[in-house]
């Protein structure tokens, strides 16, 4: 069990939540990303990038935007297990993050961070230093995005301008559909009792 999941485990009671405990997942050769919509106490999006054997995670209140002019606040949260990429369902009320989760988008990404000389640098190190760029190959999100720390504990998620941008901004979380199952939050919530 990864030491890096200690915070994740500390917040959850796995006898009650259906979220994955983790530890079984194998890191994919091509790193993966997932964007979940989480209808918790406050609606937000969770943006996660596979780095090593965990999903580095940020809570993005307004959701990612495909318009370069939109700078989206992204607040780091605890590392999640790789299996979390698949998680869609209802976290019981009273549990940490209680509410409904759908997988809004997922796919692979290419780390793109370079140093000043243009050499590719270690992606995890770039994140630790507070700036990393990557190309997303999702079913919805495509293109180059950057995550940049701009003050203690706060990051920005921004799409970088390349070529013509004809984005639509951020999705309406209540109308958005799962990339895995095509369901809305309401549909997932309505079937939460099915087991
Ligand atoms: Mn969340």
pLDDT digits (tens, 9 = 90+) for 129-150: 899 999 999 999 999 999 999 9
Cα–Cα distances in angstroms (integers) from residue 71 to residues 63, 111, 142, 170, 179, in the given order: 10, 20, 17, 11, 24
**For residue range 149-180, what is the model confidence (pLDDT) as tens digits?**
999 889 999 999 876 667 889 999 999 999 99
CA of 59 to the centre of ligand 1 (A): 6
**For residue range 6-25, what is the model confidence (pLDDT) as tens digits?**
999 999 999 999 999 998 77
CA of 60 to the centre of ligand 1 (A): 9
pTM, to two decimals:
0.93
- What residues pack around ion ligand 1 (CB closer than 5 A)? 38, 46
CA of 156 to the centre of ligand 1 (A): 17
Mean pLDDT of the chain: 92
Q: Which among 97, 98, 70, 71 is positioned nearest to 169, based on CA atoms?
A: 70
Q: Which among 100, 98, 105, 45 is positioned nearest to 75, based on CA atoms?
A: 45
Q: Which among 13, 124, 76, 168 is positioned nearest to 134, based on CA atoms?
A: 124
pLDDT of residue 164: 64
CA of 98 to the centre of ligand 1 (A): 9
Pairing of strands 99-111, 131-138: antiparallel
């Amino acid at each position: 069990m990864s030491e890096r999941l200690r915070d994740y485990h500390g917040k959850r009671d796995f006898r009650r939540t259906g979220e994955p405990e983790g530890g079984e997942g194998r890191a994919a050769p091509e790193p993966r990303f997932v964007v979940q919509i989480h209808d918790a106490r406050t609606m937000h999006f969770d943006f996660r990038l596979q780095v090593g054997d965990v999903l580095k995670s940020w809570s993005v209140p307004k959701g990612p935007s495909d318009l370069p002019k939109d700078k989206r606040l992204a607040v780091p949260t605890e590392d999640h297990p790789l299996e979390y990429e698949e998680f869609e369902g209802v976290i019981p009320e009273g549990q940490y993050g209680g509410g409904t989760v759908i997988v809004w988008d997922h796919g692979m990404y290419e780390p793109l961070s370079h140093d000043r000389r243009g050499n590719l640098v270690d992606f995890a190190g770039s994140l630790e230093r507070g700036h990393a760029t990557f190309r997303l190959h999702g079913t919805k999100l495509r293109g180059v995005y950057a995550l940049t720390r701009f003050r203690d504990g706060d990051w920005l998620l921004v799409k970088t301008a390349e070529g013509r941008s004809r984005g639509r901004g951020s999705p309406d979380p209540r109308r958005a559909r799962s990339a895995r199952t095509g369901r809305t939050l309401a549909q997932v919530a309505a079937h939460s009792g099915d087991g």
